[in-house]
Amino acid sequence: MNRRQVLGVIVGGVAAACLPSIAVSAQSYDDARDVYAALRGRPDLKLAIGGGDIFVVFAEGSSALDRDRVAAWIQRSAVAVSTYFGRFPVQRVGLLVIGGEGDHVGPATTYGMESSAMRLHVGADASEAKFRNDWVLVHEMVHLALPNVPRRSEWLLEGNATYVEPIARAQAGQITPQEVWRWAVEDMSKGQPGPGDEGLDHTHTWGRTYWGGAMFWLLAEIAIYEKSAGRYRLQDALRAINRASGGNTTYWEVEQVLAAGDAAVRLDVLMALYNDMKDRPVHVDLDHALQQLGISEVDGDIRFDDGAPLAALRRSITAAPPRG
Ligand SMILES: [Zn+2]
């Protein structure tokens, strides 16, 4: 199964990434109020990473979990998002870890109501390797960084988490650039418009929401770099949106999000792309974009061409950002 076969919904400021259904034990905390109520209890663990405080509560019935292993997983994921955003994207977040039978890591759900919160399902038999290779928690933590937007534009947030997650892990040295770009080569075309598509704001399929959204952000990455003659990257815009909004407990219109990003890079790239793609099907020339970046797949291997026009952008996207 493809690792990114994710189903997602956003309901009333709740961004959810759901893996195929798995058996979860005892109380499932389906109601966000139950999650918040559980998080009001005394935290079992507190982690301070990237200037943010992460309060972890293990739900009742989670005694079989290896808490050190879970803590290391949360820490590693938080380091990845903090590397990308230059700090942990919110000042504080509560994580409710719900242990169950099996070896699953996820599903997970992010909430931005009264405060930032997450619900994480973890199987007691999940191996060290499974935690180390997990992308779900990094994806969810990227959701903390951007404000909530109207539901029709859920793709903006899901696409952002899909686009940023592997890049954040690569910048933190957790995965290779080849692993990052394999996802674009093999999966991104799932975001192309199909028959009857009416644009990203009106076509709420899984492919358009996650991969159509990710393509939007890849196009933004390239356009910001090209139009600023290499001075700015998408990361600068996303950091600015995170700083201005304070993260996922805020509700903004899409235009406000994009204007904050555009202002940071002194362009109108994000707004122009949105106006182009929101109401009509836009087929992205993905092959051309990957060729420009110098990315190809040969006999199953991801290969890089340093002579490609945008090779420097490709290298900088996954390079460790300067500190500070
Ligand atoms: Zn998501």
In this prediction, residue 12 carries a pLDDT of 37
In angstroms, the first-to-last Cα distance of the chain is: 39
Residue 288 has pLDDT above 70, yes or no: yes
Please answer whether residues 289 and 219 qualify as being in contact, where contact means their C-beta atoms are separated by less than 8 angstroms: yes
Nearest to 210 by CA among 7, 1, 66, 2: 7
The answer to whether residues 98 and 189 belong to one domain is no
The answer to whether residues 130 and 187 belong to one domain is no
- Percentage with pLDDT > 70 across the chain: 91
CA distances from 18 to 9, 76, 105 (A): 8, 21, 11
Distance 158 CA to ligand 1 centre (A): 5
Distance 304 CA to ligand 1 centre (A): 29
Distance 309 CA to ligand 1 centre (A): 32
The answer to whether residues 56 and 129 belong to one domain is yes
324 within domain boundaries: no
Residues 6+ apart with CB under 8 A from 189: 211, 286
Please answer whether residues 302 and 182 qualify as being in contact, where contact means their C-beta atoms are separated by less than 8 angstroms: yes
Q: Which of 143, 167, 189 is the last residue in one of the domains? A: 143
Residue 5 has pLDDT above 80, yes or no: no
Distance 157 CA to ligand 1 centre (A): 7
In this prediction, residue 114 carries a pLDDT of 85
Average pLDDT taken over every residue of the chain: 92
Looking at the chain, list the stretches that DSSP marks H as alpha helix, in order from N- to C-terminal side: 32-39, 67-85, 128-132, 136-143, 154-171, 177-187, 206, 213-227, 234-245, 254-265, 269-277, 286-293, 311-318
Distance 160 CA to ligand 1 centre (A): 9
Q: If you average pLDDT over residues 242-267, what whole number do you get?
A: 98
Longest Cα pair distance anywhere in the chain, in angstroms?
56
Model confidence at 323, pLDDT cuts 50, 70, 90, reads: low
2 within domain boundaries: no
The answer to whether residues 79 and 228 belong to one domain is no
Model confidence at 27, pLDDT cuts 50, 70, 90, reads: confident
Q: Which of 95, 121, 143 is the last residue in one of the domains? A: 143
The structural domain count of the chain equals 2
The answer to whether residues 136 and 192 belong to one domain is no
Distance 16 CA to ligand 1 centre (A): 5
Distance 142 CA to ligand 1 centre (A): 8
Distance 307 CA to ligand 1 centre (A): 35
The answer to whether residues 160 and 121 belong to one domain is no
Distance 298 CA to ligand 1 centre (A): 31
The answer to whether residues 19 and 136 belong to one domain is yes
Q: pLDDT tens digits for 93-150? A: 999 999 999 999 999 999 999 899 999 999 999 999 999 999 999 999 999 999 999 9
Please answer whether residues 106 and 19 qualify as being in contact, where contact means their C-beta atoms are separated by less than 8 angstroms: yes
Distance 97 CA to ligand 1 centre (A): 17
**Is residue 54 left, alpha or beta, with left meaning phi > 0 and alpha meaning psi from -120 to 50?**
beta
Distance 59 CA to ligand 1 centre (A): 22
Residue 24 has pLDDT above 80, yes or no: no
25 within domain boundaries: yes
Distance 232 CA to ligand 1 centre (A): 26
Considering just the CA atoms, what is the radius of gyration of the chain in Å? Answer: 19
Render the burial of 133-157: b for 16+ CB within 10 Å, e for the rest.
ebbbbbbbbbbbbbbbbeeebbbbb
Residues with CB under 5 A from ligand 1 (ion): 8, 17, 158, 161
93 within domain boundaries: yes
Beta bridge partners of 93: 54
The answer to whether residues 38 and 124 belong to one domain is yes
Residue 298 has pLDDT above 50, yes or no: yes
Distance 305 CA to ligand 1 centre (A): 31
Distance 10 CA to ligand 1 centre (A): 9
181 within domain boundaries: yes
Distance 155 CA to ligand 1 centre (A): 9
Q: pLDDT tens digits for 185-206? A: 999 999 999 999 999 999 999 9
The answer to whether residues 186 and 72 belong to one domain is no
The answer to whether residues 160 and 138 belong to one domain is no
Residue 25 has pLDDT above 50, yes or no: no
In this prediction, residue 26 carries a pLDDT of 54
Distance 121 CA to ligand 1 centre (A): 15
Model confidence at 170, pLDDT cuts 50, 70, 90, reads: very high
The answer to whether residues 137 and 161 belong to one domain is no
| DSSP helix/strand/coil, 296 | strand
Model confidence at 290, pLDDT cuts 50, 70, 90, reads: very high
Q: If you average pLDDT over residues 200-222, what whole number do you get?
A: 98
The answer to whether residues 201 and 253 belong to one domain is yes
Q: pLDDT tens digits for 65-106? A: 999 999 999 999 999 999 999 999 999 999 999 999 999 999
Distance 107 CA to ligand 1 centre (A): 10
Distance 248 CA to ligand 1 centre (A): 12
Q: Which of 108, 126, 143 is the last residue in one of the domains? A: 143
Q: C-alpha angle with apex 203: 253 to 139, nearest 5 degrees? A: 65
Q: What is the Cα–Cα distance from 144 to 116, expressed in whole angstroms?
A: 7
Give residue 101's domain range. 7-143
Residue 3 has pLDDT above 60, yes or no: no
1 within domain boundaries: no
